[in-house]
Structure 1
Amino acid sequence: MMKRNMLAVICGLITCGALAQGGKSQWVYKDKTGKLTYKTTPTGDRIMDFSHAGYMGGGVALPVVPVKRTVQPSGSEDDTRQIQNAINEVAAMPLVNGFRGAVLLAPGVFTCSASLTLSANGIVLRGSGSGAGGTTIKMTGGRHTAVVIGVDNTNIALGRTERADDNEEGKQTTINHDYVPAGTNSFTVADASGFAVGDTLIIRRPVTDAWIHLMGMDDMKRDGKPQTWISKSAKEVIKRKITAIDANKITVDISLPDSYNARYVPGTTVAKAAVSHRVKQVGLEDLQIHCPPLEIDYGHAPYSGIRVGGDDCWVKNIYCRETMNTTVLAGNRITMQRVRISHTFTNLGASKPADFSLEGSQNLIDRCDVTGGNTYIVWTSSLIPGPNVVLNCTFKGIGSRIQPHQRWATGLLVDNCTVADGGIDFMNRGVAGSGHGWTMGWGVAWNCIAKTYIIQNPPGAANWAIGCIGNRQQTARLFDSAPVLGEGYFDSHGKPVAIQSLYLAQLQERLGISALHNINYESNSQVAFHNKKPALTPVKTDVDKTLGLNLAFERPVNTSEVRGNTREFGGEKALDGNNKTYWATNDGQTAATFEVDMEGPVDINALKVSEAPGNRIEGYKIEAQVQSDWMLLSEGKAIGDNMVVKFPKVTAWKVKLTITKAKDYPAISSFGLYLTSKKK
């Protein structure tokens, strides 16, 4: 069971000043000459070199592209066409040193009812500033993404069409090692005769029954139904460039983000990669994207911000207000720098959107800022290989998390990030979603601040939290209460290590101090990390005089229906500690469901439910999700004003009220869950 303290904050570990530095990591440290030195696991694995993340492979300044067209706000109901026409005109110009030119949006408000698409190499869409007096794209019309970089079809899910570009040519060989450690730069193949220095390789690591069994992903069930973690037809795909060949030994430019164990994944193939046809050298700069504040769950939200499906692209100085699932990085070597995202309202429901979705490799999210609750701030998609880096970012919002999300991503570095109201999780999500299972291997949290950490070691892999501040938690895989999974490597926990940023240290060692200057860091020192002075959000509670602390207070909730589809009668109104507000369905409804997500395993042995005035309910049952299945806690005909039910202690991930019969529309004013003491 998770070691959870509902009232816990980062007790005494965060001060109003700078955090004391000086700890030393045993996994990455500088030797007497100042060279980075790496500890290895017993099988030879080490933390990978993350410095190749970012535009053009890291340490390269973002280009300044000359303006070729300027667009003024028209004052009309829709500026989409005139902006797109200007983009298309620049896209038809010849490439000069890899660029065609920039479209400049003048100061003012541009109303756009559809996506702006940048689908040619070497073009930039630039505003006149992301603050007051700058450029604003005001989103209206039907559901769409504000700006799409990549394919000219906004209905194609990024991460699918773009990754289909990972083709190969020439003959194929196989890795000829019993074990290739994660973090290494070299391996032996059966036959290297078809390759040359400078070739880009495509390495395909298969998904096998043996590996799925090793990972414990072949026994997942939800509601009695087997869940599929990763299809056996899938492969983990990475690309690397050959830097040396010695007989059949190949050395590549970027260390490998995963291990290759022939016992579990035999037949890992290596071939020459075909030329990529993704869009390249496209930028978005200096503007604001704005849609109306929406009191809504993200699944029904009409507007998202930016989708990048190209390689060697960048997004900088952008302010996204109110958009949901705001950014997607589906290409490679993308830099998102100083992207700010704010949500006025907390996302409704237990299911959460992602503000930064990592669906490609070698991507850098740098000095970005998110404000808003109940979100996945950063997540990863399935089988996404590193290096990917989240650097020097500040994230605020109760219940929000950096949490790799789906089916085995590898090589993520969360470096000097602050998530003071939420968590950083490298974990087994079990049957969550549609069987997300193990989400991250070979991930590193470095010198971070977070309220909580769930760092777990997958079988045959590792995850690290080094120099981090915050509460360590242990849990079983999601929706199970046992067994509690072993922790990953916590190193110098509670004391930041002397190497301020691992990414910057690796970048400087590889390319020199000029590489830091190119990305606007003067040095790898605490001065550059303004987010190390976080302000904690005060913790609110709801306490019943008899039953104690309400463990359901302000939890995410999913409901089958909301009266009038307005926040006024949303499910969260039954969890706000105010008996004058309530969740309700529409007139004529006689059945409904109300499901509270406990966001982790929580012990409960009592509940209290109150109907809103009217007492309409004539049949109900209340169940807890325990060990991936539902356990009945209470069943009856009436709820009334203050129904209290006590039961033997259970460890619940979710609790669901099912209303089976009602005179008219059901309405619940309060729903509380408690762990009472024996004295009570």
Structure 2
Amino acid sequence: MKKIIVFVAGWLTIINAYAQKGESQWVYRGKDGKLTYKTTPAGDKIMDFSHAGYSGGGVALPVVPVKRVVKPSGGNDDTPLIQKAIDEVAAMPLQNGFRGAVELAPGTFTCSGPVILSASGIVLHGSGSGPDGTTIKMAGDNHTAIVIGRGNTKVPLGKTERSDSGEVNAAHTLITDTYVPSGAVSFTVADASGLALGDTIAIIRPVTENWVHFMEMDNMWRDGKKQTWLKVGARGVTKRKVTAITGNKLTIDIPLADSYDSKFLTQPGVTVMKLKSAPRVTNVGVEFLHIQCPPLEIDYGHAPYAGIRVGGDDCWVKDVYCEETMNTTVLAGNRITMEKVIVKHTYANLGASKPTDFSLEGSENLIDRCEITGGNMYFVWTSSLIPGPNVLLNCTFRGIGSRIQPHQRWSTGLLVDNCTVPDGGIDFMNRGIAGSGHGWTMGWAVAWNCVAKTYIIQNPPGAVNWAIGCIGKREQTGRLFDKNPVLPDGNFDSHGAPVAIQSLYLAQLAERLGNKSLRNIGYAANTAGMFPNKQVKAFSVKTDRDKVLGLNLALNRPVNTSSSARNFGGEKALDGIADTYWRTNDNVTKATFEVDMEGPVNINTAQLSEALGQHIDEYKIEAQLDSEWKLLWHGTTIGKNLIVKFPATTAWKVKLTILKARNYVTINHFGLYLQSENQEKKI
């Protein structure tokens, strides 16, 4: 009989550590009180992140006059009622960038389709996100509750179309510097004659074969198939405004979030083009609302409802409580502020593939004082080739098996500032073949004065990532699914002792715009008192320890199955409860059960048990290591409480394949263990 033990871990050591204050060698106050930055030998430095947020940072969110008030109808669908009021305000003229607000009265609005804000200058304003406020109750077919922007109504759950490429005119030149460091605000071009002060420019960084090779991203294979990180010929685009021109030297308004090394970017080189921006929805806000859908024990690919998609620039979402939505928000525009957005999940996401509640798909965005509770997910991720600055500030994210982890294919310039992740990790890392070849996910990122259970901070070739003043366990690993080589730590500075500059973002903002800019966004000062969540306790952690075999390393791990009957998902075989089980659909006698170990785990023993009698006649167990599947065991019958031993191996994933069965498959326990010699003698 297995024994279930529950441990509760507090944050006493973290609280004690927070009484100590260190100093960063990378950003500190000089004798004049100004921020001083250390550079790498190549001249790179931590960028100024203070431009993130609505209207470029440090600007108070507008209070917009109400032009229409909508009350709940009590009917089956209030979507047309709300949309009619929005469309009426959309027909009004712009005054100082705004048309007006649509106020939703207290009560519950049942909505079976998306509320669409496709015109600039409109605010959807509820009467509060609490019990006595405004609730949008989601019903009907799969949809997103609120969509900001044009062309966003028929986008699959979790994605938002972007339409911000702009139109290029004749001004077209190349950067001529041999190396432009990350954090720089100036560079030299071949010909600046076609540019003028105030022009918006696109700095276009090509993906070249030389650069992909330098990043060691041309050697990824999965199950014998080549994996593509970034396609040669793809382009990373950074938008900036020209603030000064001296000869052919350009100065820009916001520092660069990446470096440009001519050795790897030749043919065609880094291009600078003047932009005529395409029309975008701007100055749209959503605030003081509760978005509610029913709790579902489900994988995110089948989840019916998402929260808010922001496909415009200079927009905001404030004081919104999202209950049970999956892939809750997407920030697909620029200069967006998400403030006090709270997301709650009753059940952890099912399956090894994980969703996110904050998807960063634009630049200069600020996620401030937000909270998530949810297991088996990425709290925040980044999309491909997204340049910073993007900032997470003063956020608290809770959930077992969840983490802040930039997700795919090279984003740059992310600041995770004073965030607390007591049950999970903060990772700036190489995801290798994960997904479809996510590879190096992030460069030039900073975790500043954070608290997390674990950190995986790695330096990509030619780039740097930092963890400064952070508390939590440092971990090293190879790129995902590879045992070797173990990648060395990135730049840890003052680890275990928070640094004296409480918030890097607020310090940079105050230095650029003055202390009033802090008050504009709701911070009285840049002090520890403004960051109260450093003492959040971790969740209770359940463990499963067999008296003979030891600790079950597969307990509650994410699992994917090729077949699962309704209410009998693969997670039921990993929950440590004898009466629950995984079951395939009727007449399914061949199936796979793939467990994600969420990191390299050493194992040498498996324990299996069928729930409803002996149905299985042939099976195999494999482990994924170095991007390939290795056979651990091949057998026939399983029955009750089968224990199999194999040579110790490091596994990222473990797969049980049912090759032959006389009826549908039922497994009520699948355990993985690393036995010592003394434990083996007891069997």
> Aligning the two structures, in what range does the TM-score lie when normalised by the shorter sequence?
over 0.9
Mapping for residues 494-533 of structure 1, pairs under 5 Å: 494-533=496-535
Contact 2:468 2:492 in 1 (8 A): yes
Match of 1:459 in 2: 461
Match of 1:3 in 2: none
The change in CA–CA distance for 1:589 and 1:72 in structure 2 (over 3 A counts) is same
In 1, Cα distance between the equivalents of 2:50 and 2:278? Answer: 22
Contact 1:159 1:359 in 2 (8 A): no
Q: Which secondary structure does the structure 2 equivalent of 1:540 belong to?
A: strand
Contact 1:18 1:532 in 2 (8 A): no
- In structure 1, stretches of 5+ residues that fail to align are 1-5
Match of 1:484 in 2: 486
Shift of 1:194: 0.7
Shift of 1:293: 0.4
Match of 1:232 in 2: 232
Shift of 1:678: 2.3
Shift of 1:165: 2.9
Mapping for residues 292-441 of structure 1, pairs under 5 Å: 292-441=294-443
Match of 2:168 in 1: 168
Shift of 1:11: 7.8
Q: Which secondary structure does the structure 2 equivalent of 1:64 belong to?
A: coil
In 1, Cα distance between the equivalents of 2:676 and 2:146? Answer: 54
Shift of 1:94: 0.3
Deviations 1:588-610 (A, max 9, x none): 21111111000001111111111
Shift of 1:479: 0.5
In 2, Cα distance between the equivalents of 1:18 and 1:606? Answer: 39
Shift of 1:21: 4.0
Q: Which secondary structure does the structure 1 equivalent of 2:589 belong to?
A: coil
Shift of 1:231: 1.2
Q: Which secondary structure does the structure 1 equivalent of 2:506 belong to?
A: helix
In the alignment, structure 1 residue 53 sits paired with structure 2 residue 55: no
Contact 2:11 2:535 in 1 (8 A): no
In 2, Cα distance between the equivalents of 1:635 and 1:379? Answer: 38
Contact 1:10 1:451 in 2 (8 A): no
The residue type paired with residue 516 of structure 2 is S
Match of 1:622 in 2: 621
The change in CA–CA distance for 1:414 and 1:361 in structure 2 (over 3 A counts) is same
Match of 1:256 in 2: 256
Deviations 1:542-600 (A, max 9, x none): 1111211111011111111221x22xx22111111122211111222111111100000
Contact 2:160 2:311 in 1 (8 A): no
Contact 2:17 2:497 in 1 (8 A): no
Q: Which secondary structure does the structure 2 equivalent of 1:47 belong to?
A: coil
In 2, Cα distance between the equivalents of 1:64 and 1:164? Answer: 27
Shift of 1:197: 1.0
Shift of 1:33: 1.4
In 2, Cα distance between the equivalents of 1:7 and 1:647? Answer: 30
Contact 1:23 1:498 in 2 (8 A): yes
The change in CA–CA distance for 1:185 and 1:378 in structure 2 (over 3 A counts) is same
In 2, Cα distance between the equivalents of 1:9 and 1:237? Answer: 44
Contact 2:113 2:140 in 1 (8 A): yes
Percent of aligned pairs sharing the same letter = 68
Mapping for residues 621-660 of structure 1, pairs under 5 Å: 621-660=620-659
Q: Which secondary structure does the structure 2 equivalent of 1:232 belong to?
A: coil
In 1, Cα distance between the equivalents of 2:277 and 2:583? Answer: 56
The residue type paired with residue 223 of structure 1 is D
Contact 1:338 1:369 in 2 (8 A): yes
Mapping for residues 492-641 of structure 1, pairs under 5 Å: 492-563=494-565, 565-566=566-567, 569-641=568-640
Deviations 1:358-390 (A, max 9, x none): 000000000001011111000000000000000
The residue type paired with residue 255 of structure 2 is S
In 1, Cα distance between the equivalents of 2:430 and 2:646? Answer: 29
Contact 1:454 1:473 in 2 (8 A): yes
In 2, Cα distance between the equivalents of 1:238 and 1:583? Answer: 48
Match of 1:96 in 2: 95
Contact 2:616 2:661 in 1 (8 A): yes
In 1, Cα distance between the equivalents of 2:239 and 2:371? Answer: 30
Deviations 1:268-304 (A, max 9, x none): 0001111231100000010000000011000000100
Q: Which moved more, 1:600-609 or 1:148-157?
A: 148-157
Shift of 1:640: 1.3
The residue type paired with residue 206 of structure 2 is P
Q: Which moved more, 1:284-293 or 1:576-585?
A: 576-585
Shift of 1:232: 1.4
Contact 2:17 2:498 in 1 (8 A): no
Contact 1:165 1:278 in 2 (8 A): no
In 1, Cα distance between the equivalents of 2:537 and 2:278? Answer: 45
Contact 2:563 2:588 in 1 (8 A): no
The residue type paired with residue 289 of structure 2 is L
Shift of 1:42: 1.0
Q: Which secondary structure does the structure 2 equivalent of 1:13 belong to?
A: helix
Q: Which secondary structure does the structure 1 equivalent of 2:497 belong to?
A: coil
Match of 1:142 in 2: 141
The change in CA–CA distance for 1:453 and 1:647 in structure 2 (over 3 A counts) is same
In 2, Cα distance between the equivalents of 1:654 and 1:167? Answer: 46
Superposition CA RMSD, Å: 1.5
Match of 1:670 in 2: 669
The residue type paired with residue 545 of structure 1 is K
The change in CA–CA distance for 1:234 and 1:334 in structure 2 (over 3 A counts) is same
Shift of 1:159: 7.1
The residue type paired with residue 257 of structure 1 is A
TM-score, normalised to structure 1, is 0.97
- In structure 2, stretches of 5+ residues that fail to align are 1-5
In 1, Cα distance between the equivalents of 2:629 and 2:141? Answer: 39
In the alignment, structure 1 residue 661 sits paired with structure 2 residue 666: no
Q: Which moved more, 1:165-174 or 1:376-385?
A: 165-174
The residue type paired with residue 203 of structure 1 is I
Match of 1:118 in 2: 117
In the alignment, structure 1 residue 192 sits paired with structure 2 residue 192: yes
In 2, Cα distance between the equivalents of 1:464 and 1:452? Answer: 14
Q: Which moved more, 1:81-90 or 1:612-621?
A: 612-621
Q: Which moved more, 1:281-290 or 1:541-550?
A: 541-550
Contact 2:160 2:330 in 1 (8 A): no
Match of 2:182 in 1: 182
The change in CA–CA distance for 1:10 and 1:36 in structure 2 (over 3 A counts) is farther
In 1, Cα distance between the equivalents of 2:276 and 2:98? Answer: 23
Shift of 1:538: 2.3
Match of 2:3 in 1: none
Match of 1:205 in 2: 205
